[in-house]
Structure 1
Amino acid sequence: MADQASAPLSVLAYGDSNTWGAVPQPYRGAGGRFGVTQRWPRIMQAALGAGVSVFEEGLNGRTTCVDDPIEGEIRNGERYLPVSLITHMPLDLVIIMLGTNDLKARLSMTAGDIADGAGKLADLVRRSTTGPDGLAPEVLLVSPAPLAKLTWLTEMFEAGSAKSQKFAAEYARVAKAYGVHFFDAGSVIASSDDDGIHLDADAHRTLGLALAGEVRRILEI
């Protein structure tokens, strides 16, 4: 653990549109992004105070470790994670919350496959030297909240709802296998019924505060 008197502890929030702060979309093209103070990484930052620096790395459409045939290889979370780690090093903790986009029907992934993909990212962090003193950062693997009522996204996420209900158990399995920390987002929040996949402002606040508690526990602050 870093000396807070000399430098803040550093936490990387690595995720998809729910880390970027996409506003739930009741119809295609609605768009929108929550303001800086409304997004869960910033809420977590405010709760933790000046002794912790939180870096946001959210990307709409990001998957765990697969190229999206429609949205392109830049959505592959495994491709950019090493760059992000080096950009923000030294990092005390990396929070990974990915998997919702892997539920898209065109990617044909099971809940277990998706959790294993997230596990690849956790392992990449644990094998890195981007923590203090050239060691690896701690890792918190977060299973995304299950899908809610799908509206215009029903076809895109066909069969995804049932798979998402298995996320917590599968991510817990993977976290245990890799020896990293685990948190079930679905234990404190739910996805919005406006589109079934994104978080509303209340969910961002609840998740940010819950994860602040996890950061305190892991980093002993």
Structure 2
Amino acid sequence: MKNVLCFGDSNTYGTPPATGPDDARRYDGRTRWPGVMRKILGHSWHVIEEGLPGRTTIRDDLIEGDFKNGRRYLAACLESHRPLDVIVLNLGTNDLKARFGSPPEDVAAGVDILAGIIAATPNLGNPPARLLIVCPPPILLAGFLGVMFAGGVEKSKALPPLYEAVARRHGAEFLDAGTLVSVSPVDGIHYDKAAHRILGEAIAGKVQEMVP
């Protein structure tokens, strides 16, 4: 059986468009995009979901908690799930929060650091896992999250070529999710069910190309 690890934030976890800070829901396993991918890939693949709402690439969040820093957990996550055939890295939206003040180049640099950790982690004597870097779609300033992401819209639009350059540097595959899906106008960050289906289908197709 082949193993694919989906390492991401709330859009990998399956958070629906939220109407307020107490709106703590989650799409079911068939609806969120890793579940869509699981159905397409079939029984020969084990899809590992590692989505955490609020997760950043490499940034400590002094408000939501340092554990939101993807760098702090990635190496342990890789070792606990190895051997891995494919890793889908889908992060960066939370780095756009106003509290971090990060330019788009720094967001991409965070992805670059995570890609380096992935490359340096032994895979139990197996060939290194293939890496797919997914650039999140542009955000909107909407709903109760608008203030939290103030100044992030233009930064999010600048990410695709920066992410693609990181992917080239690491010999990874690249997918620009913004060419396929859009965030919901309800909160400007999360995906509706249709977007999860489209993204899951697209990522499944990429994984099948990477490991036939």
- TM-score, normalised relative to structure 1: 0.93
Q: State the distance in 2 between where 1:150 and 1:199 align.
A: 13
Deviation at 1:149, TM superposition (A): 4.5
Letter in 2 for 1:146: P
Corresponding pairs, count: 212
Alpha-carbon displacement from aligned partner over 1:76-99 (angstroms, at most 9, x marks no partner): 001111111111110011100000
Aligned to 1:213: 205
Aligned to 2:151: 159
* Runs of at least 5 residues in structure 2 that lack an aligned partner in the other structure: none
Asked if structure 1 preserves the Cα contact closer than 8 Å seen for 2:140 and 2:146, the reply is no
Q: How does 1:9-88 map to 2 (within 5 A)?
A: 9-88=2-81
Aligned to 1:4: none
Q: State the distance in 2 between where 1:68 and 1:216 align.
A: 35
Deviation at 1:64, TM superposition (A): 0.2
- More deviation, 151-160/207-216: 151-160
Aligned to 2:139: 147
Aligned to 2:125: 133
> What is the CA RMSD across the aligned residues, in angstroms?
1.1
Q: Which ranges of 4 or more aligned residues in structure 1 deviate by more than 4 Å?
A: none
- More deviation, 195-204/25-34: 25-34
Deviation at 1:134, TM superposition (A): 4.0
Asked if structure 2 preserves the Cα contact closer than 8 Å seen for 1:128 and 1:135, the reply is no
SS in 1 for 2:47: strand
Q: State the distance in 1 between where 2:38 and 2:115 align.
A: 22
- TM-score, normalised relative to structure 2: 0.97
- Give the % identical residues: 41
SS in 1 for 2:67: helix
Deviation at 1:169, TM superposition (A): 1.2
Deviation at 1:121, TM superposition (A): 0.7
Asked if structure 2 preserves the Cα contact closer than 8 Å seen for 1:127 and 1:136, the reply is no
Q: State the distance in 2 between where 1:53 and 1:98 align.
A: 21
Letter in 2 for 1:49: G
Asked if structure 2 preserves the Cα contact closer than 8 Å seen for 1:146 and 1:186, the reply is yes
Deviation at 1:133, TM superposition (A): 2.5
Alpha-carbon displacement from aligned partner over 1:128-180 (angstroms, at most 9, x marks no partner): 112x6244211111001110342211111011011001111110111112221
Q: 1:174 to 1:62 in 2, by over 3 A?
A: same
